[in-house]
Structures are given as C-alpha cells and as structure tokens.
Amino acid sequence: VGSWQGFLLAAQSAWKRGDRETAVRWAADAYKLAPGLDEVFLTYTGMLAACGENEWVAALTKPRLQKGETRSRPYMNFARALHAMGLRDEAVATCRRALAELTLTREERTAFEAELDGWTGRFARGEIAAELHPGGTSLRRTIYSIREGKTEVAVFEAGSGMPKRMKLPVNFKTPRTEFDFTLEQRHAMHDPEQHALGTFTISEVEPEKIGAEPVALELLLENGGHLVLGARQGQRKLGVTWSLYPPPRHEPAETL
C-alpha cells in the first residue's frame, strides 16, 4: 500500500504531463488514505472540477462546509459546481454565505463578488469576438456604438490593446427602465462592411432617480477581443444581458 504523499505526487506529475485520467485516479487513492488533509482534498476536488465532474465536487465538498469550513477555496469550488449543475440559486446562496461569514482577502472577496455578479446578471459577456490584427494583441477596426443603424460613438479605437476599460455616461432622451447598447466594428463611421458584436440590454433602471443617480456603462475589452459590460445607476449595479440582435423597441434610444 502506498502513502498518500506518493499518490499525490504521482497525481500531480500525471496532471502536468496532460494525463488527466491517471492524475484523477492517483488523487482519488491519496484521498482514500487522507480524506481530512486539506492539500489532498483541494488537489482531488480541483482536478475533478477541471474535468467537469461537478457532482463529485459538490458531494465531497458539502460535508466540509456543513462542518464549519473557514477557507474560501472549498466554497468557491462548491458554488461553481452547483452552478455548472444548473443549481443557480444554490450557487448564489453559497457565494453570499462566503461573503457574509468568511474572513476573506481582497482578492478572494473580489472573486466571489465577480461570480455573484455574473450569476445574478450584473454583467454580461458578448459571445462574438472583435476582429484583431495578426498576433491578436490589438483591434483591427474601431468599435462603435450603433443607434437605429447609424454609428454614434467610437468606443474603442482601431489599434487599441487589450485588456482595456471604458466608462460611458448615458444620457436619456426619455428615461425608462430598460434600454439597449449595440456595438459594431468598422473602419470608419460610415463603413458598410461592419462586424456586428451584438446588443447588451440594460434593465432595472429607476427613471425617477436619474437626475441624482445617473446611469453609466462599464465596458471591458478582454484579451482575445470579447466585450464584457456592466452598468450602474449611482452605486447600484443594474441588470445586463447580451443577445446577437437588438430586441424590437418603440421608445427613443439612449445617447452616450
């Protein structure tokens, strides 16, 4: 019979060379010998999570949380496993419990808040990547906001590197609870050969408070060219979704 240390080293070695099946098998053997050791538990469940074995991750992690786990990683692994299994509400509750009960570093708190924001629709990631120059480090064409088929504002200029952030105030013709933000990539404002990047829909705006609490968009151009959008009214985060095409609207559009 081998030692848990030997099995764990074998698992880590197999993982490094890309043999995930063997790595998980050795990690399971280490876990059988030392299920209470944090190093063994986190290695084994981390490998299971990376392989998409979310039911196993949840089943192994839940008892530790029920016994008063105080570290953040098991909570994060459990929450992500639940979300991958389609148990969104339970995943959200796990993140909120971690934020309320655990002593977290700034980085750990930010990670939980980011997952929570994503799962509760506080930001959205576009599914279409912008066109990049060869090498993938800068935009090939400028990204514009589009209103009624016409370019409105240059958001990220051609040649922009990544990642890059932009904060955009929103000026409403008629304040309302929901509006759209459509983006396209073009060589110039009137370029007919546009590359559509989809539409973000921002919701939960409180029109009666816009004067004192204006709305602003927070747009991120990720490495690889995908766009991520969040929105706030004052300090309150708004709902955001993404779709390929803008929904039909009869109200006046917002302006930036």
Residue 23 has pLDDT above 70, yes or no: yes
> Quick one: CATH architecture of 4-120?
Alpha Horseshoe (1.25)
User: Phi then psi for 57, rounded to 5 degrees?
Assistant: -60, -45
Amino acid at 176: R
- The class of domain 124-243 in CATH terms is mainly beta
Residue 113 has pLDDT above 90, yes or no: yes
Q: For tokens 């050969």, name the residue.
A: 193
Identify whether 35 is preceded by a cis peptide bond (ω within 30 of 0). no
What pLDDT, on a 0 to 100 scale, did the predictor assign at position 239? Answer: 96
CB of 23 closer than 8 Å to CB of 47: yes
Residue 72 corresponds to which tokens in the numbers above?
A: 């953040």
**Structure confidence by residue, pLDDT tens digits, 148-194:** 777 788 999 999 999 999 999 999 888 899 999 999 999 876 777 88
The answer for residues whose C-beta is within 8 angstroms of residue 253's C-beta and 6 or more apart is: 147, 148, 173, 179, 180
| Rounded mean pLDDT, 103-113 | 95
**Sign of torsion, CA 111 114 120 125?**
negative
What pLDDT, on a 0 to 100 scale, did the predictor assign at position 253? Answer: 55
Please tell me the distance from the alpha carbon of residue 97 to that of residue 91, in angstroms, as a whole number. 10
Structural domain spans, the chain: 4-120, 124-243
Q: What percent of the chain has pLDDT over 90?
A: 85
Residue 254 has pLDDT above 60, yes or no: no
**Structure confidence by residue, pLDDT tens digits, 51-75:** 999 999 999 999 999 999 999 999 9
Q: What is the CA radius of gyration of the chain?
A: 23
What residues form DSSP beta bridges with 2? none
What pLDDT, on a 0 to 100 scale, did the predictor assign at position 250? Answer: 65
What pLDDT, on a 0 to 100 scale, did the predictor assign at position 175? Answer: 87
